[in-house]
Amino acid sequence: MKLKDIARVTWKGLKNDRKRNIITIIVMSIIFVVIFIANFWLQGFEDTYLEFTSQVAGGKSYGITNILTREIKNYNPETAEIEYQDVELQEVQAKKNKAIALIESYGGVYVGEGEYDESGKLILPTEYEESEAKTCPNRRQGNIGSFSYECLERSSSYLLNPILNLIPAPKLNIPKANSDKNIRHSFITLVFELPNSEAARNLAMSDKINTSMTSMDEQKVNFGIFLGAPPEFYLTMNYLHIAFRVASIILVVVALIVIVFTSIRLVDNDKKIIALYRSLGASVYQIRIIYTFRFLLLTTLSAIFAIATSIIIMAMYSIIEQSDLTTLFSLAFRLDGLQSIFILGINVDIAAYLAALIASSGICTLVNLRRLR
């Protein structure tokens, strides 16, 4: 038998038993549908978050780092009086140079030093103020909270609030210092511009940066975003990706076991057909090739079915939850007149799970070698 004859026999075999093969495809793909939906949502949410952050901040991010110029020398708990001592100028300059060099190594640009007014609000450098209108055309002031709002919890069947509670809202506020003048005048604030979200992510993941989610370390530079995606967002998403990846790998293993047992049952049910192939002169090798093609076709169709079903479910999710999604992002990013939000993101993990599903045909062939004789 030639290759095209084997392909024809394989396709004809699938057509002659449509019902069984449709059930087989659904069984093989159902767990992968769950895996794809979870990963589509997580990556889609991250992509949407960064897209809106980019809109608000004009594609850039801005952050600050504080350098201490005065340290506490003595504290009297009875009178609450604090005695300060100045940090040596050389030490201040060394820390400033270290912070500038580190952030510039990640593509950042040092904008200048900021000062604080009487209310404690940061007055940004003139260089920033002059470019703000062009850099942040869509920004507007207002209060922000977390991504899981009580109004959404009460008024809808929104199911993702437990995860959304973990995700920090974007930083869109000029920071304020403590109202205590002594504390406010005990450090200088350096303002930096980062070229894009990727640079901010790389900086946030650096082991030389302090964020609110890492332990304090004097050897690290304490850096925070005041306009753009905060470092905590990248760290949180990294942890969520790891958690989703571990859960997905466990489900993939379960799915592969189901697929292998399904293939064994399929071969056992085809004993008469295999005997017919032998009576027609087909060799053991040719029979194995026929079923290798069949398994490959089934897993490929299962992959197509799983991806298509997942995209349809994500489209339905985006349509059904459109009001809540729009409210969620408009409140978090202070944007008016948001267009439709479609949550769907693709990453390398999804491609790997898809490849695993298709490649499982090889495992099915190996497991059934003795039966295909």
Question: For position 34, what pLDDT does the model report?
Answer: 94
Token match 């920071």: residue?
Answer: 175
Structure tokens at 121: 């609000």
From the DSSP assignment, how many helices (H) and strands (E) are in the chain? 13, 8
Cα separation, 123 vs 126, in Å, equals: 9
CA distances from 137 to 62, 64, 141, 230, 351 (A): 14, 21, 12, 19, 36
Under 8 Å between Cβ of 33 and 309: yes
Pairing of strands 221-227, 209-210: parallel
What is the reported pLDDT for 241? 93
Per-residue confidence (pLDDT) for residue 163, from 0 to 100? 79
Predicted confidence at residue 153, as pLDDT, reads 59
Nearest of 302, 235, 230 to residue 263 by alpha carbon? 302
**Position 148: which residue type?**
S
Integer Rg of the chain from CA? 29
- Cα dist. 156→39, 144, 161, 165, 324 in Å? 23, 20, 11, 16, 8
Residue 269 contacts residue 209 (beta carbons within 8 Å): no
| Contact (CB, 8 A) for 32 and 179 | no
**Residue 263, pLDDT score:** 84
**Whether the Cβ atoms of residue 178 and residue 346 lie closer than 8 Å to each other:** no
Neighbours of 359 (CB within 10 A): 12
Bridge partners, residue 72, by sequence: 84
The SS3 call for residue 241 is helix
Query: Which helix (H) or strand (E) covers residue 187, if one does?
Result: strand 187-194
Q: Note the pTM of the prediction, 2 decimals.
A: 0.78
Decide: helix, strand or coil at residue 168: coil
* Residue-by-residue pLDDT tens, the chain, 373 positions: 565 666 666 666 666 667 777 888 888 889 999 999 999 999 999 999 888 887 777 778 888 888 877 766 666 666 666 666 677 888 888 888 888 888 888 888 888 888 777 777 777 787 776 666 565 555 555 444 556 666 565 555 566 777 777 787 787 766 666 666 655 667 788 888 888 877 887 887 777 777 554 445 566 777 777 788 877 788 888 899 999 999 999 999 999 998 888 888 888 887 877 777 777 777 778 778 888 888 888 899 999 999 999 999 999 988 888 888 888 888 788 777 777 888 999 999 999 999 999 999 888 888 888 877 7
Q: 28 near 299, Cβ under 8 Å?
A: yes
pLDDT of residue 44: 93
Percentages helix, strand, coil for the chain (3-state, rounded to 5) are 60, 15, 30
**DSSP summary character for residue 64:** E
Task: Write the CA distances from 104 to 40, 200, 230, integer angstroms.
Answer: 34, 11, 18
Give the amino acid at 154: R
Number of Cα atoms under 13 Å in the Cβ half of residue 359 = 8
Q: What is the DSSP secondary-structure string of 92-140?
A: HHHHHHHHHHHHHTTT-EEEEEEEE-TTSBEE--HHHHHHHHHH-TT--
Q: Where are the domains of the chain?
A: 3-50+236-367, 58-235
User: What are the tokens at 12?
Assistant: 């004809």
Coil, strand or helix at 145:
coil
**pLDDT of the residue at 143:** 45
Q: What is the dihedral of CA 215, 221, 225, 226, to 10 degrees?
A: 110
Closest to 20 (Cα-Cα) out of 257, 259, 266: 266
Contact 336, 310 (CB under 8 A): no
